[in-house]
Amino acid sequence: MAKEKKLVESITSMSEDFAQWYTDVVKKAELVEYSNVRGCMIIRPNGYAIWENIQKELDRRFKETGVENVYMPMFIPESLLQKEKDHVEGFAPEVAWVTQGGLETLPERLCVRPTSETLFCDFYSRIIQSHRDLPKLYNQWCSVVRWEKTTRPFLRSAEFLWQEGHTAHATEEEAEARTIQMLNVYADFCEEELAIPVIKGRKTDKEKFAGAHSTYTIEALMHDGKALQSGTSHNFGDGFAKAFDIQYSDSQNQLQYVHQTSWGMSTRIIGALIMVHGDDSGLKLPPRIAPVQAMVIPISQRKEGVMEKAASLRDVLKEAGIRVKLDDSDKSPGWKFSEQEMRGIPIRVEIGPKDMEQNQAVIVRRDTREKLVVSLDELAEKAKEILDCIQKDMLARAKEHLKEHTYVARDYEEFKKIVAEKPGFVKMMWCGDEACELKIKEDTTATSRCMPFEQEQITDVCPVCGKPAKTMVYWGKAY
Ligand SMILES: [Zn+2]
């Protein structure tokens, strides 16, 4: 028994040390293993299967909007990266360089892509000539490299997986519409699949992407009250087009610059899944994204007929379209329960000799631990209902948490007190001056998360400087 409890006992509790809890879950749920390369992670099957489901669903949603996938080289010649000034300055501190190929020193060093705007721009300058070539709606699934000083699995790593969409349009309006459209794709995906509510808005100039005209973001709130930027969508205007000479002839045969966008979501979102839903027993996955939705666990599995019955329940659930596994290992039921909970599998189905006598099984919800006795005649139907219910309840709980941890500040003293004492988002007006934004960061370490689309007029002046307020901002400490 002592050995059985070990799996859970070795997790630090969230309230004691949230950062350590996160690291423990990532390790114990077997999502990630550390590698020999500093800051790079090995994503294990349990973690990669989550990413595959994210990828599958996002990809489906992208394609519904007309996006096509391509694949670009992973190296960028230095001269290409230098073409857009703000962009190169923004990324220079974290770029990895290749200076040698085989035994030869390269005539021009190559950067390992930190993001691929420059490659797409170069590509577009070759393939776009006429208005008939527009729009171009391309996306790629790949990994990128950013030489980060401090790293944490999923949240910040030297190499990570993501998708980056890059589009080119004839007009400014079209580009802006696409930027918002993709932000909405991300927001809907987070709510509907990951049960993570997000705040949609625009980044301040200080926080926007290097080289972008405007950056839009979805911000989620983690269990510890810190924000996580979960997806971004940028409108580049014609800045990159001018730097890379991407022109098309319009219907009057006049040369025009294209307007571009880019948008991305990465394996970081798995960090959000862990930190929004998890608890002291481990991961809690929303059913729609969970690689395994139900684990069948036999009780007294050596008793006659139990294992066969458990296997038949697995088959029934599988037949009904549920992603199900049977734990037929020789571990004890208690150990199997802990493992299923640690991995965040939404339901387990317990079946033993007594249940068989009564033609029933016990379904246990991972999110609430509620036990539900279900007749075997309607097992699949009930399991589906319960999974739907878990998905809804998880979103509702996350929304409640977001609401409870969003505060309003009317003056700067109040703001500082909230940031110091109550982790979460703080809504406060802002004059639009970067000096005030910097002062807030210096005084409190909170940063502007976004200027939300849903605006409120809390005060008429900026509480930091007293000048007229221009916009309401969500502020918070962030990952
Ligand atoms: Zn101000």
Give 307-325 pLDDT, tens digit per residue: 999 999 999 999 999 999 9
Taking domain 10-277, whether its CATH number is 3.30.930.10 is answered by: yes
Tell me whether the omega of the peptide bond preceding residue 45 falls within 30 degrees of 0, making it cis: no
Strands (E), 125-268: 136-145, 159-169, 199-202, 214-221, 227-237, 247-249, 255-257, 259-266
Domain boundaries along the sequence of the chain:
10-277, 294-387, 406-476
Tens-place pLDDT, residues 63-101: 999 999 999 999 999 999 888 888 788 888 899 999 999
> How far is the centre of ligand 1, averaged over its atoms, from the C-alpha of 353 (Å)?
70
The pLDDT-based confidence of 335 (bands split at 50, 70, 90) is: very high
Q: How far is the CA of 446 from the centre of ligand 1 (A)?
A: 15
Report pLDDT for 149.
Answer: 84
Read off the pTM: 0.95
Instruction: Name the pLDDT band for 8 (thresholds 50, 70, 90).
Output: low
Residue 178 has pLDDT above 80, yes or no: yes
Cα-to-centroid distance, 408 and ligand 1 (Å): 16
Architecture of the domain spanning 294-387: 3-Layer(aba) Sandwich (3.40)
Centre of ligand 1 from the C-alpha of residue 430, in Å: 5
Return the SS3 of 333. Answer: helix
Ligand 1 center from residue 461 Cα (angstroms): 8
Residue 4 has pLDDT above 70, yes or no: no
Question: Ligand 1 mean position to 216 CA, how many Å?
Answer: 22
pLDDT at 1: 42
Distance 470 CA to ligand 1 centre (A): 9
Helix axes 379-404, 268-277, angle to 10 degrees: 90
Mean pLDDT computed over every residue of the chain: 95
Sign of CA dihedral 68, 69, 71, 74: positive
User: 406-476: which CATH architecture?
Assistant: 2-Layer Sandwich (3.30)
User: How do residues 131-167 score in pLDDT, each as one tens digit?
Assistant: 999 999 999 999 999 998 888 999 999 999 999 999 9
Distance 91 CA to ligand 1 centre (A): 29
Inter-residue contact 427 to 418 (CB < 8 Å) = no
- State how far the alpha carbon of 30 is from the alpha carbons of 7, 35, 294, in Å: 12, 14, 18
Which tens digit of pLDDT belongs to each residue from 216-237?
A: 999 999 999 999 999 999 999 9
Q: pLDDT at position 7, please?
A: 64
Confidence class of residue 2 from pLDDT cuts 50, 70 and 90? very low
CB distance 52 to 60 below 8 Å: no
Determine the distance separating the centroid of ligand 1 and the alpha carbon of 435, expressed in angstroms: 7
- Give the position of tokens 């190559």: 110
Between the CA of 438 and the centroid of ligand 1 the distance, in Å, is 10
437 CA distance to ligand 1 middle (Å): 8
| Ligand 1 geometric centre to CA of 462 (Å) | 5
Q: What spacing in Å lies between the alpha carbon of 464 and ligand 1's midpoint?
A: 5
Residue 439 CA to ligand 1 centre (angstroms): 9
CA of 170 to the centre of ligand 1 (A): 37
Residue with the bigger pLDDT between 86 and 202: it is 202
CA atoms of 468 and 433, how far apart (whole Å): 11
Element (H, E) at 296: strand 294-298
pLDDT tens-place string over residues 35-72 = 999 889 999 999 999 999 999 999 999 999 999 999 99
